[in-house]
Structure 1
Amino acid sequence: MTSRPHTSASTDLITSLAEGSLRVVDLTAPLSSGTPILPLPEPMHPIPRFELERLNDWDDPGEISFQNHIHTGEHVGTHFDAPVHWSSGRDLEDVGSVPAARLVGPAAVVDKSAECAKDPDYLLGLDELKAWEREHGALPEGGWLVYRTGWDARSDDQAAFLNADDNGPHTPGFTAECARYLAEETGIVGIGVETVGTDAGQAFRFEPPFPVHHFMLGNGKYGVTQLRNVGELPPVGAVLVVAPLRIVGGSGSPARVLALTPAAEGK
């Protein structure tokens, strides 16, 4: 009896990566002292900037290694929001409790970058989302909705990224109706955005305030912010890998976010 070579999903994945038919796209913004942060109104505690403090390097007497101390908030740069981050999810998972299987899943990419270029306060509404679903299929069970706005082009400039005036920040987001639908009526596990937070800049005026945080985190779902290179992903067919630090009791964490996408469909 002739034996057949063993094949598996993992060997297929390795082969596809080696042959170049599958690409890895890094969706993570570089993390440095220049990374934009969101100023919070009083009496909320300000988010600290990311900073490195040198502990030792090879040129110090007696040292053979290089190490830094890290100073940062949990919600700085490309980062992950756990349900416990918001009052509506206070009794749900912290970032250290999130099951690893929920951090890897298919990505549905909704591109409204042209609309956002014309209107920085553009909101993705339920009608627009359902139109996308009619064209591309239902949002994936256990997957992620990734919202492309083109906002990553501003992410090296704090002022342009926040785009604030006397009325507050002006950045794209979701309507409250759309946020509730995503949280309560779809099987996605989370939302990924290019902006500083998952809610629109003016979402403090919405009902409820910051509806993406309120509905998504309150329903045990997640958020990922400050993504880059989303324009390299197809509307469907990519797989998202979200890797926050496993911080016990943490409300969130800086994260490395990768996408696996068919090379033929990428840009």
Structure 2
Amino acid sequence: MNAPAVPLALALPLPGHRAVDLSLTIAEDLPCYWSTHQPFQHKTWTWFADRPNSSGSVYNRGGPYTTRWMAIDEHTGTHFDAPSHFVPPPGSGLPHAGPAGEISAERVPLEQLMGAAAVIDVSGLPLAAEGGVSTLFGSEVITAWERAHGRLEPAQVVLLRTGWDRRYLRGADGDGYLYDVVVTRKSPGWPAPDVSAIETLLDRGVRCVGIDAPSIGAAHDGAAVHVCGLSSGMVFVESLTGLGDLPARGAWFCFVPLRLEGGTGAPGRAFALVPAG
């Protein structure tokens, strides 16, 4: 017997809101992984019954069920960067080493990955003329948004809408999302914040920033903004989608990653609760 359905209005923690999924679908034919890193693979381990096939057989390995295994990079699909992603641990003797280097994925508190959303739209910025290069924007974009929508507040989640997610397509059509930016360098990169923008957000007390592009950092040099934010305990949620469905203010954002011990980041599910109507 099926359990009785729970009305959506009762399931949501904020009555009068609707849920908006901000997560990319991950699949082998989608550009869900960094083009020079571990490719995403998703394969059948066991099937309900043996099924010989010249292009790839599947087998029953012990029960009336099916399950699949994955080979997956920590930074696949919609994911977050923990501070340890770019900050070496203290005592390592490496550049930028510090206490934040000990904050791996499972040590990031969930409350840091949720909060009132402030959506800053930079999708109108012109792209760089050179392949593999991102257009950078600075603190002036942050302060301009504040003049229109009010000052950013501590613990808000800032979401940067670039519109890059429209390039997330299957097969060769999806090469423009990442491959043709960082490998062939035939295409310019996504708009990305510079260090001054991250410093301004830190000054406002923001500790979580999201973007609907493959990285918070520029395609041609992503290290500087990662080090700036992550060394201060900030985290980044990357490869979001659907930020155009959110208002500049008024939505509530949440990202729930895998609790991956020692992870430099982890995939997860991002969503927002948006006022209905």
Q: What's the TM-score bracket when you normalise by the shorter of the two chains?
A: 0.7 to 0.9
Partner of 2:213: 195
**What secondary structure, in the 3-state scheme, does the structure 2 residue paired with 1:114 have?**
coil
Partner amino acid, structure 1, of 2:214: V
Distance (whole Å) between structure 2 residues aligned to residue 191 and residue 18 of structure 1: 23
Deviation at 1:231, TM superposition (A): 0.1
Distance (whole Å) between structure 2 residues aligned to residue 18 and residue 141 of structure 1: 22
* Pair 1:263 & 2:259 matched: no
Distance (whole Å) between structure 2 residues aligned to residue 32 and residue 24 of structure 1: 23
**What secondary structure, in the 3-state scheme, does the structure 1 residue paired with 2:103 have?**
coil
Cα pair distance change 1:175/1:72, threshold 3 Å: same
| Contact 2:127–2:189 under 8 Å retained in 1 | no
Deviation at 1:152, TM superposition (A): 0.6
Q: Deviations over 1:107-147 (max 9, x none)?
A: 10001212247978333321121011122112232121100
Picking from 180, 191, 212, the partner of 2:199 is 180
| Contact 1:102–1:189 under 8 Å retained in 2 | yes
Deviates more, 1:146-155 or 1:135-144: 135-144
Cα pair distance change 1:19/1:144, threshold 3 Å: closer
Partner amino acid, structure 1, of 2:217: D
* Pair 1:111 & 2:121 matched: yes
Partner of 2:78: 78
Partner of 1:97: 107
Cα pair distance change 1:245/1:116, threshold 3 Å: farther
* Pair 1:248 & 2:258 matched: no
Deviation at 1:26, TM superposition (A): 0.4
Picking from 234, 238, 262, the partner of 2:247 is 234
* Pair 1:22 & 2:17 matched: yes
Partner amino acid, structure 2, of 1:85: H
| Contact 1:57–1:67 under 8 Å retained in 2 | yes
Partner of 1:7: none
Identity within the alignment, %: 31
* Pair 1:34 & 2:35 matched: no
| Contact 2:75–2:267 under 8 Å retained in 1 | yes
Distance (whole Å) between structure 2 residues aligned to residue 61 and residue 84 of structure 1: 39
| Contact 2:127–2:134 under 8 Å retained in 1 | no
Q: CA RMSD in A?
A: 2.6
Partner of 1:48: 38
Size of the aligned set, in residue pairs, is: 240
Partner of 1:161: 177
| Contact 1:20–1:263 under 8 Å retained in 2 | no
Q: Which runs of 5+ in 2 are unaligned?
A: 1-7, 50-59, 88-95
Distance (whole Å) between structure 1 residues aligned to residue 14 and residue 215 of structure 2: 36
Partner amino acid, structure 1, of 2:116: P
Q: Which has the higher helix share?
A: 1
| Contact 1:109–1:236 under 8 Å retained in 2 | yes
Cα pair distance change 1:62/1:192, threshold 3 Å: same
**What secondary structure, in the 3-state scheme, does the structure 2 residue paired with 1:31 have?**
coil
Distance (whole Å) between structure 2 residues aligned to residue 170 and residue 31 of structure 1: 21
The aligned runs of 1:126-165 (5 Å cut-off) are: 126-156=139-169, 157-162=173-178, 163-164=180-181
Cα pair distance change 1:92/1:139, threshold 3 Å: farther
* Pair 1:122 & 2:135 matched: yes
| Contact 2:23–2:269 under 8 Å retained in 1 | yes
**Hey, which bits of structure 1, 4+ residues long, moved more than 6 A?**
117-120
Cα pair distance change 1:232/1:248, threshold 3 Å: same
Distance (whole Å) between structure 2 residues aligned to residue 166 and residue 238 of structure 1: 36
Partner amino acid, structure 2, of 1:123: L
| Contact 1:116–1:150 under 8 Å retained in 2 | no
| Contact 1:94–1:251 under 8 Å retained in 2 | yes
Distance (whole Å) between structure 2 residues aligned to residue 116 and residue 161 of structure 1: 16
